[in-house]
């Protein structure tokens, strides 16, 4: 059940929890404007310094990692995808972030955080009758995160790792003769692959003001781990989002 009206009536301004800037209802916390203004589609309000060069109040590095059984797989970028309502004006408050897979349903929000290294072949693919770029992912992780909501409050400290998808290759293997782009990596997580002991810790989360059209910025500081096919996998980042997009439950890429 969507509780947008209730959320609008009860959401406070952006809140800082022990250096964690988390915009309640995930509408964007590069600013300190009231949430109603952010949802109205206004752009983030920058802070001017003494030199009149504007900046936001987010604090993120440019770091991310992926290890499989303590072997390092270099990662180049961090992106995210948020589940929103049909209008794209607010996060979708789902009845159960576990989709019926847990003993007790938990209402909340869903966010996919993506770490990856990829190559882009410009105008290298035909899709739906148009020529588009072809992104080839060599290695990376997709962490599907559920954020419980209780009494109108998003419980970031109780966020859970719902699923972890891993793709990898051999970073030290040179390109084949005559090739200019490395081939796609192989999936560690196949349809029948067991994923156990899923762990997640979010230290900070800031989303861009997606309602006003921002599709980059914000950021996350997180660590996730799991045992996949008997291998210990760790991934995480302290990074801004290079790409940020949204999806809705009725879309093929919806969660």
Please tell me the distance from the alpha carbon of residue 146 to that of residue 229, in angstroms, as a whole number: 23
More confident residue, 213 or 56: 213
Model confidence at 54: pLDDT above 80: no
Model confidence at 227: pLDDT above 70: yes
pLDDT classification of 51: cutoffs 50, 70, 90: low
Cite the beta strand spans of the chain per DSSP E. 15-17, 20-22, 47-48, 54-55, 62-68, 71-72, 77-83, 108-127, 130-150, 153-154, 160-168, 186-187, 195-206, 217-228, 231-241, 243-247
pLDDT at 57: 78
Length of the chain equals 255
Model confidence at 165: pLDDT above 50: yes
For residues 166-180, one letter each, b for 16 or more C-beta atoms within 10 angstroms of the residue's C-beta and e for the rest, the string is: bbbbeeeeeeeeeee
Most confident of 46-50, 207-211, 250-254: 207-211
User: Is-above-0.85 flag for pTM?
Assistant: no
From 105, 113, 94, 90, select the one nearest 23 (Cα to Cα): 90
Provide mean pLDDT across the span 155-164: 96
pLDDT at 7: 38
- Output the CA torsion sign for 21, 26, 27, 28: positive
Percent of the chain with pLDDT over 90: 62
More confident residue, 43 or 96: 96
pLDDT at 181: 82
Percent of the chain with pLDDT over 70: 80
């Amino acid at each position: 059940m969507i509780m947008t009206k209730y959320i609008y009536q009860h959401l406070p301004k952006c809140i800082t929890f022990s250096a964690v800037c988390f915009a309640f209802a995930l509408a964007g916390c590069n600013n300190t404007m009231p949430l109603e203004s952010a949802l109205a589609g206004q752009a983030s309000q920058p802070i001017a310094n003494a030199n009149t060069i504007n900046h936001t109040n987010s604090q993120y590095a440019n770091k991310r990692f992926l290890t499989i059984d303590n072997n390092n797989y270099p990662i180049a970028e961090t992106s995210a995808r948020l589940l929103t309502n049909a209008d794209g004006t607010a996060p979708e408050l789902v009845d159960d972030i576990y989709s019926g897979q847990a003993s007790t349903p938990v209402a909340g929000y869903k966010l996919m955080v993506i770490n990856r290294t990829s190559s882009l072949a410009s105008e290298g693919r035909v899709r739906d009758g148009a020529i588009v770029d072809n992104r080839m992912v060599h290695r990376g992780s997709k962490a599907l995160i559920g954020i419980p909501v209780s009494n109108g409050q998003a419980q970031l400290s109780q966020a859970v790792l719902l699923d972890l998808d891993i793709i990898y290759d051999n970073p030290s293997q040179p390109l084949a003769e005559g090739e200019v782009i490395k081939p796609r990596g192989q999936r560690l997580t196949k349809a029948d692959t067991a994923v156990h002991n899923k762990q997640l810790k979010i230290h900070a989360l800031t989303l861009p003001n997606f309602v006003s059209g921002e599709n980059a910025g914000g950021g996350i500081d997180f660590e996730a781990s799991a045992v996949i096919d008997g291998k210990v996998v760790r991934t995480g980042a302290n990074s801004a989002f290079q790409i940020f997009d949204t999806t809705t439950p009725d879309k093929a890429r919806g969660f």
